[in-house]
Chain A
Amino acid sequence: MTIDLKTVKHISKLARISLEEKKAEKLADDMNSIFEFIEKLNELKTENVEPLTSIAETTLRFREDKITSDNIREKILKNSPEKNDDFFVVPKVVE
């Protein structure tokens, strides 16, 4: 199976990464060589194997539903590229 340019462009849309035409071609080449290497897994029969979803054999812990931090709004907003007093600012999304 080969990954064509159209697929690469579709994936870059899904991943929200804009791609120049030239970069997309290089990426298609790279992805094809990586997937050629990955296809090795098809040698293995795995119908009856349980997928391993977590290596830590523990069940997730419950905690009480209560606030444990003080008012950290300022700290959270501190690193944002654009903000007003209380909010993150993004380009307009509704007309």
Chain B
Amino acid sequence: MTEITSLSLFELIKNIKEKKISSNEVAKSFIDRAQKSKKLNAYVTENFENCLKLSKEFDNKPNFDLKLPGIPIAVKDLFCTNEVRTTAGSNILNNFVPSYESTVTQNIWNEGGILLGKLNCDEFAMGSSNETSFFGNVQNPIAKDLVPGGSSGGSSSALAANLTPVTIGTDTGGSIRQPASFTGTVGLKPTYGSCSRYGIVAFASSLDQAGPMSKDVKDSSILLEVISSFDKKDSTSIDFKRNNYSSDLTRNIKGIKIGIPKEYRVDGMPGEIESLWKKGIEYAKDCGAEIIDISLPHTSYALPTYYIVAPAEASSNLARYDGVKYGLRSSGKNLIDMYEKTRSEGFGEEVKRRIMIGTYVLSSGYYDAYYLKAQKVRQLIKQDFDQAYNKVDAILTPSTPSSAFKIGEKSNDPVSMYLNDIFTVPVNLAGLPGISIPAGTDKNNYPLGLQIIGKPFDEQTVLNIAYSMEEKINYKNNINDWWME
């Protein structure tokens, strides 16, 4: 039989329901593998003992009507978990133990999921390589010393290495889709307002969304169905009719119109990305989709807009870390000195950089020139998509402008790091759903992803296109467990 840890979520659920395996056996298998996989540095906090205990409780009193019956799941350490340490990858929250649960994780536990542990991420989700985490770099299981992407890098690494059957990440500018692309896995950022932000450590509140990460598209549809919900505790949660994403999943996308935006052909894009995209277009045609050329004229302004809006919101959100109510406190000679030292010692370099940018663009005399300007350009970017969606049902692009890079390769050049999110950021600015699916490899055999962007609240079409193309692409990760002890 195939190893338990390499089964998909769908297969695990099936096996558990048919009583071929127990929840406890599943938990044990993932924990054994995690214990041999410390070199990946995917975990910040393990919840293994508790997970084993809860899985036994499930087996003693199973409820097979649940959507995630006794399934152990590790989550990004940006979700507050009741009585389990939540760090956001930061020294300033090193000892923070929430006394409440994020809505998204609560939804998972309500459906029978069991917490395996908390996964490494860039500090406050600010990064594209997991190198800004206070808890150190994460290895990509694809090859040694390769970044797993970011900010949900612990999540993508753990998933690709079969340390968790599925996981959840958060995506502010690409933090689910880019790491999925770098690890040969699937990552979905839902429409803004689909998944509650309650209990997620805030980065940029008008952009942040939680979403599923999985080994295949079907698993993402199962997990999205669980985590997407209307929540009064999030003022921007939207009360719309959510599909039964997994049972409505179909490979029949005949006649669906897919747009190809010419502006995504950026200067200096490697030839292998271009040819992957071309192959993607052929796959989409094979699936029965109609391909239509479209224009998103403001695409090249998306990154500069993002690097005003996101730091501005971050500087405001992170004002709460003052050494008083929770988290680290450094001693100072008076209150102000205490604030300044706490924040200087508690935050890492990238977080400080972004707080500084955000404070600057919001400061007196610069607000109109930067922040207001960015909000206006954001409107133009959104209008680009609105107009495109008069003609097409979805949009197909590459997920990233390159495959995974080496640890340290870009960490000294913030702008070149930011360019990684060039294809994912516009989707957050416009609040749209987007998925990355593995679609091929580069010359080094590193995975490359394609992104499908949908209309607001139309995750079903995005999933269906991805599900259909996935079958044609038939991508398989080639992982040789090089890190195992």
Contacts and interface: CB of A to CB of B under 8 A. Distances in A.
**Which of A15, A34, A78 counts the most B-chain CB atoms under 10 A from its CB?**
A15
B355 interface: yes
Nearest 5 A-B pairs (CB), nearest first?
A55-B431, A51-B375, A79-B326, A81-B329, A75-B99
Interface string A48-84: 0111111110101101000000001001101111100
Nearest to A48: B376
A93 B332 CA distance: 12
Given A37-B304, A79-B325, A81-B323, A11 B356 contact: yes
A61 B429 CA distance: 23
Contacts of A11: 356, 359-360, 363
Given A40-B300, A79-B325, A92 B334 contact: yes
Interface residues of B, number: 68
**A interface, size bucket:** 35 or more
A17 to B, nearest CB: 5
Is chain A's binding surface mostly helix, strand, loop or mixed? loop
B122 interface: no
A79 B338 CA distance: 17
B60 to A, nearest CB: 30
Contact of A3 (B235, B323, B340, B360): B360
A58 B236 contact: yes
B340 A61 contact: no
A52 B380 CA distance: 9
B377 A78 contact: no
19 contacts: A11-B363, A34-B418, A37-B303, A37-B304, A37-B415, A37-B418, A43-B301, A44-B380, A50-B376, A51-B376, A52-B375, A61-B232, A79-B327, A81-B324, A82-B329, A88-B324, A91-B337, A92-B335, A93-B335
Contacts, number: 158
A79 B96 contact: yes
A40 B308 CA distance: 12
A27 interface: yes
A83 to B, nearest CB: 10
A65 B298 CA distance: 43
Contact of A44 (B232, B338, B377): B377
A56 B356 contact: no
A16 interface: yes
A82 to B, nearest CB: 7
**Which of A31, A44, A72, A76 counts the most B-chain CB atoms under 10 A from its CB?**
A44
A17 B379 contact: no
Contacts of B363: 11, 14
Contacts of A12: 356
A72 B340 contact: no
Contacts of B131: none
A90 B97 contact: no
Given A46-B373, A76-B99, 16 more contacts: A11-B363, A16-B340, A17-B344, A18-B337, A18-B344, A40-B300, A40-B301, A46-B376, A50-B376, A51-B372, A52-B379, A55-B431, A63-B232, A79-B99, A80-B324, A91-B337
